[in-house]
Structure 1
Amino acid sequence: MNYRHIFHAGNPADVMKHAVLALIIDHLRAKPAPFCVLDAHAGIGRYDLDSEPARKTLEFQDGIGRLFGQPAPHPALEPYLDAVNALNPDGRLRWYPGSPRLARALLREQDRLLLNELHPDDWQTLKAEFAGDRQVSTFKTDAYQALKSHLPPREKRGLVLIDPPFEQPDEFARMAEGLKAAHRRWSTGVYALWYPIKERAAVWRFQEAVENTGIRKILTVELTWHPEDTHLRLNGSGLLIVNPPWTLDDTLRAMLPALHAALPSTGGGCTVDWLVPEG
């Protein structure tokens, strides 16, 4: 529990992840029935890019810093960028929305947000961030226990985000097992599992483990900004999405190349592929 996301907030991995999450939630908003978002690794909610840790790495400069204040490279990025802009109404980039604040910006009155964070200090910050908000509940427990405790939600529709810090060497295996157990409890929910792309073999093993669960309708979405010639750096990031909303894959195939072109890179690219089709 030593990971602190403030050092990395708003970097290219965050931009890709949050842009896709915003699109998924925007699709959920298309139907009037309420939905629930469960964020299993919530963090603190929002991040101060003027803080010493953020200024130490300046990772946000190659991520949200390349998009903020500019026209959206693709219309599908607008739900995400609108949420960032709403936190910075004076036009100066200071605050970056983590997934909790991003999801909250997209909720309607009938929707609900469940936030889980195990780190005690971060949970206190998260709890204070949403104090008094009746649509948001916060919890401090192990992420995979939270999946057992809160699924299925009463709304019957929604999104589960599994976004671990990858401090544990078996995190890929834990994600695959956690997804399998959660899907048994709630097979119709949308699941988004984020993963880093450093060592390609580790990603392949993770995807094979998920494929072997027997779960259907699984989409993989990846954005890389470096050639994958070393596993000593973060070369890109991916999302494995179960039950993606209809047409999301087509939208991402159009949006991700525009996002890749807007971010600095030494190579890489983007892919949107079906790991397991629906049928």
Structure 2
Amino acid sequence: MLSYRHGYHAGNYADVLKHSILLQVLKSLHKKNKPLAYIDTHAGAGGYALTDEFAQKTGEYLDGVAKLWDKNDLPESLQQYIEDVKHFNQGESELTYYPGSPAFVDMNMREKDRMVLHELHGADHALLDEQLGSDKQVRVIKGDGLKGLLGAVPPLERRGVVLIDPSYEMKTDYQDVAKTIIKAHKRFSTGIYILWYPVVKRAQTEEMLKLLTDSGIKRQLRIEQAIKSDSDEFGMTAAGLWVINPPWQLDETASEMLDYLSPLLNQGGGKVSVKWEVGE
């Protein structure tokens, strides 16, 4: 199934947290003057027009990035995120476009860094390739990102971050994602892995995460934001990031972010969590 298009959800509360954390990870890695690789298993279209039919149909960005757009009291950990979104909008006063993960990385990539982007959806791959495919530092691949990940690690740079951000359209995605990360970690144990996950059915999500906690992999951090209480009704009530090998103090930075975001984006009954699920 390839019906999922991230354009419907671009800039929603889950994107706010995901991209803010991604930028903080990159910032930490850039403290060392050594090259790194960014590997994205589900890269999407690269960027999204919030005026198109996808975004307008759901309006999810209105309860996400739009609520931060004009804020002047953002904590430092969220300032770069909004600055990059504004840069992607070419300095215009109106919020019209939203960058995908590859665009955020592209705005912060050094000459020595490299991106490997996987996208299976034909239309999104074409848009991604048009946007970034001509860049010599970027490789845009049309294919299954989970399979591609195993061929991409370890990177030659021996430093890097992997973002795994699937649609979870298929129930098997949950198991496949966890198993792939475990295999990839065996090949590239020092890499930083950022897994984005939704909470639609809590038990299904926790089953996937338990595979990771039981894997023997050390240093696994959960960063989760719920905007509603868990429910059996249709729809995502929470979203989170499961980070393996997080940079130093990412837990503190994430807590600072969520302290600000929770009262701003909470729709009632939600809560946040920053927890070391597996320590050293």
TM-score (norm 2): 0.96
* 2:186 corresponds to 1:184: yes
Cα-to-partner distance string for 1:44-89 (whole Å, 9 max, x where unaligned): 0000001122111111100011011222531111221121010111
1:167 counterpart residue number: 169
Deviation for aligned residue 1:264: 4.3
Check whether the contact 1:74–1:259 (CA below 8 A) recurs between aligned residues. Answer: no
Among 196, 206, 209, the alignment partner of 2:211 is: 209
Q: Any idea what SS the aligned residue of 2:104 has?
A: helix
Distance 1:256 1:182 in 2: 29
TM-score (norm 1): 0.96
Distance 1:28 1:78 in 2: 18
Q: How do 1:227-266 and structure 2 match up within 5 A?
A: 227-266=229-268
Any unmatched runs of 5+ in structure 2? none
Matched residue pairs, number?
Answer: 278
* 2:98 corresponds to 1:100: no
Please provide the CA RMSD for this pair.
1.2
1:116 counterpart residue number: 118
Q: Any idea what SS the aligned residue of 2:110 has?
A: coil
* Amino acid in the other structure paired with 2:173: E
Distance 1:52 1:126 in 2: 19
Distance 2:209 2:121 in 1: 28
Distance 1:264 1:253 in 2: 15
| Moved beyond 6 Å, runs of 4+ | none
Any unmatched runs of 5+ in structure 1? none
2:53 counterpart residue number: 52
Q: Any idea what SS the aligned residue of 2:11 has?
A: coil
Q: Any idea what SS the aligned residue of 1:223 has?
A: strand
* Amino acid in the other structure paired with 2:127: T
* Amino acid in the other structure paired with 1:55: Q
1:138 counterpart residue number: 140
Check whether the contact 2:84–2:107 (CA below 8 A) recurs between aligned residues. Answer: yes
Deviation for aligned residue 1:170: 1.4
